[in-house]
Amino acid sequence: MTDRLAALFSHFSLKASSFNSGPLCGLNEIENSTQGQLHLIRSGNVAVWHGRRKKYFIEEPSLLFYPKPLRRRFQTNEEFGAEFLCANVSFEGEQANPIVNELPESLCQPLSSLPHCEQVLTLLFIEADACYCGHQVVLDRLFEVLLVQLLRELMESEEIKVGMLAGLSDKRLRRAIVAIHDRPNEEWTVQTLAEEAHMSRTPFTNLFREKVGETPVKYLQRWRIGLVKKWLKGGQPLRLVAEDAGYKSESALSRAFKSQCGVSPREWLLNANE
């Protein structure tokens, strides 16, 4: 069976760091976060406000996920509050990370709707309530496992309707998308990608556009440029980056990069390092 997430996480890892376990009472504003955050509401009622809009009202144990920083506030009972278990979440590659870019700005799911996460959630809550040696390390790793399982759930439930995760949910398209992720340096064409999906060219192109929201060629370029950004920030020379990303020369990469980002790779790297 094709592993739809292996290449994603081999190129773009994630890291979690737990920071809160206990009750939050009254009004709590979150406005200076520089990372994504994952909140597990274990008990109590929580009104979640985005600006002046009440986005969620949580009345049962739930998972609340923010892939990117977002100003918000939690309103709970002044006396009894609500029981939270929280972690900061960072994705390698930051804005170039395709997982972050595919997810909504926030996601709220009752824990009862995540059956495949039940075991890791049980372990998380046991660890949060105890003070074993290595407590912080274990919590952090369990949060990371939970995030991977959450992505699995989103794909299996087809919660995400358009984008990469929607494409990976499709049994035909996933073969082509995983092939792009696994082997970005191959000379892919629409025809060879259609063959990976065991489809003819036109139906493949139409289905890809419907599910992913862009053409196969655009997706391929976006994936390659995301890798280029990561590799450049990691200090790799442009010549090697071009080859690894599937471009025949530095100039070919520079043209594709400028077409997508509006600046050359060197200009982008200079701004990214400021």
How much of the chain, in percent, has pLDDT values that exceed 90? 71
Least confident interval from 161-165, 196-200, 238-242: 161-165
Residue 103, pLDDT > 90, answer no
> What per-residue confidence (pLDDT) applies to 102?
82
Nearest-angstrom CA–CA distance, 71 and 51: 7
Confidence of residue 258 (pLDDT cuts 50, 70, 90): very high
> What per-residue confidence (pLDDT) applies to 101?
81
Nearest-angstrom CA–CA distance, 264 and 272: 12
pLDDT in tens, 202-225: 999 999 999 999 999 999 999 999
Average pLDDT over residues 236-261: 93
Nearest-angstrom CA–CA distance, 69 and 236: 28
Nearest-angstrom CA–CA distance, 216 and 194: 9
Pair 186, 246: CB distance under 8 Å: yes
Nearest-angstrom CA–CA distance, 198 and 164: 19
Confidence of residue 84 (pLDDT cuts 50, 70, 90): very high
Average pLDDT over residues 131-142: 91
Least confident interval from 95-99, 206-210, 234-238, 261-265: 95-99
> What per-residue confidence (pLDDT) applies to 243?
92
> What per-residue confidence (pLDDT) applies to 100?
84
At residue 104, what are phi and psi to the nearest 5 degrees? Answer: -65, 165
> What per-residue confidence (pLDDT) applies to 95?
67
> What per-residue confidence (pLDDT) applies to 1?
58
Nearest-angstrom CA–CA distance, 118 and 111: 8
DSSP state of 239: H
Q: Output the average pLDDT for the chain.
A: 91
| Domain architecture of the chain: domains with CATH | 6-157 (2.60.120), 166-272 (1.10.10.60)
Find, among 35, 33, 111, the residue nearest to 67 by Cα.
35
pLDDT in tens, 20-36: 888 999 999 988 778 89
> What per-residue confidence (pLDDT) applies to 2?
67
Average pLDDT over residues 83-111: 88
- The pTM assigned to this predicted structure is 0.86
> What per-residue confidence (pLDDT) applies to 154?
86
Residue 247, pLDDT > 70, answer yes
pLDDT in tens, 113-133: 998 899 999 999 999 998 788
> What per-residue confidence (pLDDT) applies to 17?
95
Tokens 């912080």 identify what position?
136
